[in-house]
Amino acid sequence: MPLLQTLRDDLDVLEAQHLIRRRRTVETPCAPNVRADGKDYVAFCSNDYLGLAAHPLVTQALQKGVSLYGAGSGASHLISGHSRAHANLEQKLAEFMAPNIDQARALYFCTGYMANQAVITALAGKDAAVFSEELNHASLIDGVRLSRAATQVFAHRDYAALEAMLKNCTSKKRIVVTDSVFSMDGNIADIPALLALCEQYDAWLIVDDAHGFGVLGEHGRGVLEHFNLRSPNLVYMGTLGKAAGVGGAFVAAHETVIEWLIQKARAYIFTTAAAPALAHALLTSIDIIAGEEGQQRRAHLNKLIHMFRHGQDLKVWQGMPSDTAIQPVVIGKNDAMLAVAGNLLDQGYWVGAIRPPTVPLDTARLRVTLSAAHTEVQVLQLVQAINRLDQMHYVAQCFAEV
Ligand code: PMP
């Protein structure tokens, strides 16, 4: 069939470019020690930054949620799917974020991807001007595209370029969109600088804190607490499938913004509400994040980050300047990176292997993610495994072949 043949040809092109992605099937809970496709690994590739995905209190709460509310919500939020568990979670998140958001209200979404689409399309429209950071996550980019707003992309952390764009902007509806922690580089946007510009030029600042919520800030309130920010221009998106260990996402903003999203955000309105049990489990996750245990877990994670970067010399590859749990090691060519990641797998370490289009051409990289569930010994052993590749002149060989 010609249609199928076209797809097969396109898949062959991807294969030739070393861009075919393969899934490994995980047979154990998300934790540093996992079994996948029948083999045991120490995994450094999940976003379970605080180790809550398999935390006994969280999994017990999930089971309790099922016994209280059943398996599924059965409908969208605006019909009959909005359960007591969703309402409780939104209330808890609003109270949690209140120190950093004026008249805070929160809205729970099935995924961060949908939350980003929802918030951008609801706030922007054809008459809006959107200013989008070059390294933004795909879900922000897709939201911007879907909004059909006039869009300008500003270079990574180039806030002078953004200011020039804002100065020339004639639209009254201005929206700046940025990741907080860049998901493939691990560095942090200068949110105070962005917010100052947004206040000066009367623009919304949508912050995607997928990799900051729960991890940054003394109490885990993410990048807003990290920089001690509060402003009516802020619209905050935090995901709940990463540090919070469960799934879904939330937007926290002034109550008027949230009311607007409930009325207008299509990715909120036209989908079945997430299982209430997930929201019930998240009540426990937020308690842990906000409490003493959360502080201890963040302190341990920060110690591991410091160890990975400075404890032992990571040879050959200088990582990127990241102080977060995301530690990229840029290799360059796709096949070289796959060879390196494959060798680490053979040594028993599962590390994220990231290729274009997720990252720019010729910047394929290992994406090491650290978690409070890792031990110091595991992190030191990973560094040694990477250094062993260096001793084998592995990288030189890989580059010689391309
Ligand atoms: N934003 C960023 C920066 C992300 O890294 C991700 C997930 N990888 C998302 C949004 C989407 O979140 P979710 O996985 O909950 O859809």
In the chain, domain spans: 18-47+295-401, 56-290
Six-digit token string for 21:
């992605």
Active site residues: 183, 211, 242
d(CA 214, CA 222): 6
Q: For tokens 């764009």, what's the residue?
A: 165
Under 8 Å between Cβ of 330 and 399? no
CATH code: domain 18-47+295-401 is 3.90.1150.10
Q: Mean of the pLDDT values across residues 224-234?
A: 97
Best substitution site from 139, 278, 326 to test ligand 1's pocket, by max atoms within 8 Å of Cβ? 139
Under 8 Å between Cβ of 43 and 276? no
| Distance between Cα 379 and ligand 1 center (Å) | 25
Burial state string for 264-280 with b = 16 or more CB within 10 A and e = fewer than 16: ebebbbebebbbbbbbb
Ordered alpha helix ranges (H), 42-167: 56-69, 84-97, 112-123, 138-147, 159-167
**Residue 294 DSSP SS3:** helix
Under 8 Å between Cβ of 122 and 277? no
Q: Mean of the pLDDT values across residues 185-196?
A: 97
Of 313 and 316, more confident: 313
pLDDT at 313 over 80: no
pLDDT at 294: 98
Sheet strand arrangement including 234-239: 104-109, 249-254, 234-239, 203-208, 174-179, 129-133, 150-154
**Residue 371 DSSP SS3:** coil
Sheet strand arrangement including 326-332: 33-36, 39-44, 349-354, 364-369, 326-332
For the chain, how big is the Rg over CA atoms in Å?
22
**Nearest-CA residue for atom 10 of ligand 1:** 112
pLDDT at 378: 96
pLDDT in tens, 260-310: 999 999 999 999 999 999 999 999 999 999 999 999 999 999 999 999 988
d(CA 361, CA 155): 16
Beta carbon of 143 within 6 Å of any ligand 1 atom: no
Under 8 Å between Cβ of 198 and 236? no
**Residue 219 DSSP SS3:** coil
d(CA 135, CA 89): 31
pLDDT in tens, 332-369: 899 988 999 999 999 999 999 999 988 999 999 999 99
Beta carbon of 225 within 6 Å of any ligand 1 atom: no
State which ligand 1 atom lies nearest to the alpha carbon of 248: 15
Best substitution site from 113, 181, 191, 268 to test ligand 1's pocket, by max atoms within 8 Å of Cβ? 113
pLDDT at 370: 98
State which ligand 1 atom lies nearest to the alpha carbon of 47: 8
Sequence ranges of the binding site for substrate? 21, 137, 358
Predicted confidence band of residue 316 (pLDDT cuts 50, 70, 90)? very low
Q: What is the DSSP letter of 180?
A: S
Predicted confidence band of residue 400 (pLDDT cuts 50, 70, 90)? very low
Predicted confidence band of residue 203 (pLDDT cuts 50, 70, 90)? very high
Burial state string for 291-314 with b = 16 or more CB within 10 A and e = fewer than 16: eebbeebbebbbebbebbbeeeeb
Best substitution site from 110, 137, 251, 324 to test ligand 1's pocket, by max atoms within 8 Å of Cβ? 137
pLDDT at 321: 80
pLDDT at 389 over 70: yes
| Distance between Cα 67 and ligand 1 center (Å) | 29
| Distance between Cα 209 and ligand 1 center (Å) | 9
Q: Does domain 56-290 have CATH number 3.40.640.10?
A: yes
Beta carbon of 183 within 6 Å of any ligand 1 atom: yes
pLDDT at 399 over 50: no
Q: Look over the chain and give the mean of its residue pLDDT values, rounded to a whole number.
A: 94
| Distance between Cα 112 and ligand 1 center (Å) | 5
Beta carbon of 180 within 6 Å of any ligand 1 atom: no
Under 8 Å between Cβ of 212 and 223? yes
Of 364 and 394, more confident: 364
Share of the chain above pLDDT 90, in %: 86
| Distance between Cα 48 and ligand 1 center (Å) | 12
Torsion of CA 58, 63, 68, 71, to 10 degrees: 110
Sequence ranges of the binding site? 21, 112-113, 137, 183, 211, 239, 358
d(CA 354, CA 63): 34
Answer yes or no: is the ipTM higher than 0.90: yes
Pairing between strand 364-369 and 326-332?
Answer: antiparallel
Predicted confidence band of residue 318 (pLDDT cuts 50, 70, 90)? low
pLDDT in tens, 230-252: 999 999 999 999 999 999 999 99
Q: Is the peptide bond before 357 cis (omega within 30 degrees of 0)?
A: yes
Q: Mean of the pLDDT values across residues 122-127?
A: 93
Predicted confidence band of residue 34 (pLDDT cuts 50, 70, 90)? very high
